[in-house]
Amino acid sequence: MTTDREPAATAVSTGQELADAVAAAVLAVPGVARLHSGALGEAATYLPGRRVPGVRIRPGGVEVHVVVDRAVMDWRVPLPEVAEHVHRAVAALVPARVHVYIDDLATEPSPMIPSPDRPGPAGTIRTHLE
């Protein structure tokens, strides 16, 4: 008996690749300090032997939970603007609905994002997000 369904290993591999690609795209958005798995770790994609925190892939869409860098507030960039850029980054990879949740603000600025006390123009994030 044959079926048109893909082998389970291929489906799992595709899910792993998608979760990893979404996580990488989100972390590449300036102003995102890290992904956040929620208070109880519920916001994650569970894979064999590991999980991708902050990315929840479901049949109806993708949820992304992030912690925003404190520098975003210092530069007066509105949080909805950061969320919109996270949304765009994920929507480029996923044909389903994308929900972005800003779960927290980092207390320490990310070393990857310039700030007034670190090299780099203060407007770097706003320039990139526009």
CATH code at position 100: 3.30.70.1350
User: What is the β-pairing status of strands 61-68 and 32-35?
Assistant: antiparallel
1 inside domain: no
Average pLDDT over residues 2-10: 39
Query: Is 25 part of a structural domain of the chain?
Result: yes
Any domain includes 110: yes
Give the SS3 label for residue 33: strand
pLDDT at residue 129 above 60?
no
Strand partners, 61: 58, 97
26, part of any domain: yes
Please report whether residue 125 resides in a domain.
yes
pLDDT of the residue at 107? 82
Number of domains present in the structure of the chain = 1
Which pTM was predicted? 0.73
User: Are the beta carbons of 81 and 75 closer than 8 angstroms?
Assistant: no
Question: Quick one: pLDDT at residue 113?
Answer: 53
Return the H-helix or E-strand segment holding 64: strand 61-68
Residues 6 or more apart whose Cβ sits within 8 Å of residue 98: 61, 62, 64, 87, 90, 91
- Distance (Å, rounded) from C-alpha 129 to C-alpha 10? 35
Angle between helices 8-27 and 79-91 (to 10 degrees): 150
Query: Is residue 39 domain-resident?
Result: yes
Q: Is 2 within a domain?
A: no
Look at residue 63 and tell me if it is in a domain: yes
The residue range of the domain holding 114 is 8-129
